[in-house]
Chain A
Amino acid sequence: MAIQVQIPTPMREQAGGKAEVTVNGVTVQAALADLLRQFPALGPKLFDNGRLRPYVNVFVNDEDIRYLDEMNTPLSDGQTLALIPAVAGG
């Protein structure tokens, strides 16, 4: 269950400078847990008291997980998970 996670520029320092990281996980929750296992420094960037920060949006193949099953959204092999800052537009 290989998932590609796209890392935005401001998080790359905590991800070993990588723009894309391969993780494993059958849900978004599990994939992000694997991401943090590989790069623990990303933890405080993405989560606050165990909850995803409100201004980080997570997309599975370009669909916002808030319109899917949030952190329980199932993942299948080869899908892409993008982490994108939410403060834009209007």
Chain B
Amino acid sequence: MPNADFVTGLKCRLCGKLYPKSPINFCTDDFGPLEVDYDYARMRLALSREKITKRPRGMWRYRELLPLDGDPTVGPQVGGTPLIRADRLADALGVEQLWIKNDAVNFPTLSFKDRVVSVALSKAREFGMRTVGCASTGNLANSVAAQAAQAGLETIILVPADLERAKIFGTAVYGAKVIGVTGTYDEVNRLCTQIALKYGWGFVNVNLRPFYAEGSKSMGFEIAEDLGWRFPQHVVCPMAGGALIGKIHKAFTELNTVGLVDTPVTTKMWGAQAAGCNPISDCVKSGRERHKPVRKPNTICKSLAIGDPADGYFAARLMRESGGWAEDVTDDEIIEGMLLLARTEGVFGETAGGTTVAVTRKLLDQGRIPRDEEIVICITGNGLKTQDAVFDAIEEPAEIKPSLMEFEALAGLAGEPALA
């Protein structure tokens, strides 16, 4: 991919100090987060809608806007998930125009994390790393394990020991070394920072984080392209670390900056959390500048259970500045949200999806999101991984003998005249 690298380096989001491209995630002066910096003027000349649409569907059709030196070597088929016109859910929620960005069917591990991992592991290879890892609430673990297996990288994955069985199993099956840590996600995360600093391994959400997080932008690029190269009025997004909501908005801004979408971004960004772990929504609602960390998250929505979100400050600021807001919902509301999504649109989203649907409903009921404007809901993971959460809410199937009489009795058809 000659001359397709538009990355100028890494830039501190607090002080603006520039760093060369390297596996580092924080500014050495003030410890602020580093973000990838691009030469947009040069990119603008190299990009066109025609060029992008000729490429295969998937996140790498936007390769100029993603931070690799060369072609992706890990996960070249990731992304390109459907944007579904959700009319039945729209009716149920009482809104006019509703879309679902369905990353529950992302490839290869059924969550939006496949996007960030494709970037991070391709980058790890560019840096010559042989061992990669992550701290994870589950989806990231699945994706790192699967994609590292494809890439032939050694993996070390640390997760809270009390994670859903399906998520631990769905990591170990790929041959990854999985370590359950008896503690919260934030404790796992802190341990990973210590390991990454000491051993220099490629932890995707520690020292590879600036590159990794950029992968989430592809969800925003796809939403805009699938809407016909325009931006929706509202995006509702689940928040764990708080990076995704920022990256979707950044994606829209970049599409405008490089001339792929002419209209400026006026999209209002709305964030969804669980009541049992709501540091970012609490920050927005209470008017605090910085979030108050949650020591012991307590929710069925484990994929969003980050008590001390690294991007909490930026996510809260974005929601306020874009004209959006944040809300959080109870575990019961999360289950209702999962069932509503499944029963209106045939999409089985995980608990984070239920959270996002339930928060959308709450924000509509509060009158914050207008019912006559276009809304996109981001579904970021698959319900098959969090079946335990809804198990008790689903009616057990009836059981009968293989007899027509028993079937008719059960279905209330007894006594109907035979047709033949």
Contact = CB atoms under 8 A, between A and B. Distances in A.
Contacts of A9: 197
B28 A88 contact: no
A89 to B, nearest CB: 4
Contacts of B240: 90
Contacts of A67: 293, 295
B31 A55 contact: yes
Given A84-B190, A90-B243, A45 B306 contact: no
A83 B223 CA distance: 40
Interface in B15-55: 25-26, 28-34
Contact of B26 (A64, A82, A87): A87
Interface stretch (B181-189, B229-237, B388-396): B181-189
Given A62-B187, A87-B32, A54 B313 contact: yes
Q: Count chain B CB atoms within 10 A of each CB in A53, A57, A86, A90 and give the residue with the most.
A: A90
Interface residues of B, number: 39
A67 B294 CA distance: 9
B135 interface: yes
Nearest to A55: B31
A74 interface: no
Nearest to B134: A89
Contacts of A54: 290, 313
B30 A88 contact: no
Contact of A53 (B30, B186, B196, B311): B30
Interface string A29-71: 0000000000000001100100001111101001010110000
Contacts of B186: 64, 89
Contact of A85 (B31, B203, B242): B31
B242 A90 contact: yes
B118 interface: no
Contact of A87 (B185, B203, B310): B310
B135 A88 contact: yes
Nearest to A67: B295
B222 interface: no
B190 A57 contact: yes
B9 to A, nearest CB: 17
Contacts of A48: 30
B79 interface: no
A58 to B, nearest CB: 11
A88 B31 contact: no
Contacts of A87: 25-26, 31-34, 209, 310
B205 A86 contact: no
Interface string B148-190: 0000000000000000000000000000000000000111011
B293 A66 contact: yes
Contacts of A10: 26, 28, 31
Given A55-B32, A57-B190, A64-B293, A88 B25 contact: yes
Given A64-B186, A90-B205, 11 more contacts: A10-B26, A45-B30, A53-B30, A59-B190, A86-B308, A87-B25, A87-B34, A87-B209, A87-B310, A88-B192, A90-B310
26 contacts: A8-B197, A9-B197, A10-B31, A44-B29, A45-B30, A53-B31, A55-B33, A62-B187, A64-B190, A64-B295, A67-B293, A84-B190, A85-B193, A86-B31, A87-B26, A87-B209, A87-B310, A88-B135, A89-B185, A89-B186, A89-B192, A89-B205, A89-B306, A89-B310, A90-B205, A90-B213
